[in-house]
Amino acid sequence: MAGPLRVEHDVEVARWVQEALRDDFSVSAVVPPILQAYARILHPATLDVTTDETDAWGNQRFESREITWAEAAELIGDRAGRSQPYTAWLARFGEQQFEMPGGWLNEPHQGDIPLSLLTEVAALLLDEHGDADVLAAVWEGSGLDTTSTGVFAWSPDDGMTAAQRKLRLAELQSAAYAAQLASVDPDVRLAMERQEVLGLPREHGGRGHVLLHGRLSAFTDPAWERAAGLGWREDWPHPGRTPNLLWPTEPHASPAWMVATDLDLDTTLIGGSARLIGRVLAHPSFEAERVLPTDPLV
C-alpha cells in the first residue's frame, strides 16, 4: 500500500478481540469489557438549509452544516423514540429526517467514525498516551468490496437515439466501476479475496473486517484517507472509509484504549483509563456521554 497503513494478513493477531466481545446488544458487543471506563461520542447530525442558488436543473441548492444532538433537540422539541430502535438517534428522536422551515434535519452518519471526529480523537489519544503502533479493523463492505457494490451513472438526454443513450450509459457505468475499483488498494482486495478478514463480533454474517497496521500519529492528519486505498473518491458525497475498530498493538490483548464504531451505529465508543474518558467527556469538539460495558448499544 502506498499510504501510511499496511494490510495485516495474519488476522490471528486480533483474534483475542473477537473472543473478548460479548454476544449481546450491550456496549461490550462492540468494545471488550477490559478497560477502566467508557464513553460514547455522538456523531453530528446535519442541517440542510435552502439558499438562493439553484443547480443546472433549476433545483434549489442547500447549504449543510453539522449540529449536535442537543441542538437538534432544541429544533424539533421532545420526541418519543421508537420502541425497537436500531440506532441511538432513532431511540431519541424516532425519525431519521425532519422537515424544517427552509430545510431538513438529517440523522448522523453511521457505519464508521466521521473523518473529522477521528482526527480529533487521534490527537487526544496521542497527547494522552503518545504515539503507538496500532491495528485498525475496517469493514470489507461499503465501497471496499466492489463485487457486491452497485455503480450508478446518469447520461443526459441531449438528442441521442435510444441506442446511443444505452451505449453512453454503459460507458459511464464502466468508467465509474473502474474508478471505484482503482480506489481500493490491491493488497486490501487481496486480503478480502483470501478471506483474511476478522469477523466482528463473530465470523460470517457479512461482518468481516480487513486489518491494517500503522501508527496512531497517521490518523491525526486527515490527509491519510486519500492515500489509504480504502475507497476514497473525491466525487463521492462520503469519500473513503475510516476504521471500525482501532487499538494499540502493545501490550497484546491488554491495550490502553480502544475506539469502535459498529457497522449499524451512529455513535463511536471509546474505552480507556478514567483519566482518558474524563478528557473525552470534557473535550469541546465532542458531544459525549459516559457509558458502562453493560449498557445497551442504543
pLDDT tens string 176-233 = 667 677 889 999 999 999 999 999 998 888 899 999 999 999 999 999 998 899 988 7
The DSSP line for 214-229 is EEGGGGGSTTHHHHS-
Look at residue 46 in the predicted model and tell me its pLDDT.
95
Q: How far apart are CA 288 and CA 42, in angstroms?
A: 6
Whole-structure pTM value: 0.89
pLDDT for 96 beyond 90: yes
Cβ-count burial 163-202 (b if 16+ within 10 Å, e if not): eeeeeeeeeebeebeeebeebbbebbbebbeeebbbebbe
| Pure H helices in the chain | 15-20, 69-76, 88-93, 115-129, 162-182, 186-193, 224-227, 274-282
- Round to whole Å and give the CA distance between 74 and 141: 35
Q: Which is it for the CA torsion 272, 268, 88, 105, positive or negative? A: positive
What does the alpha-carbon distance between residue 36 and residue 274 come to, in Å, rounded to a whole number? 6
pLDDT over 90, % of the chain: 67
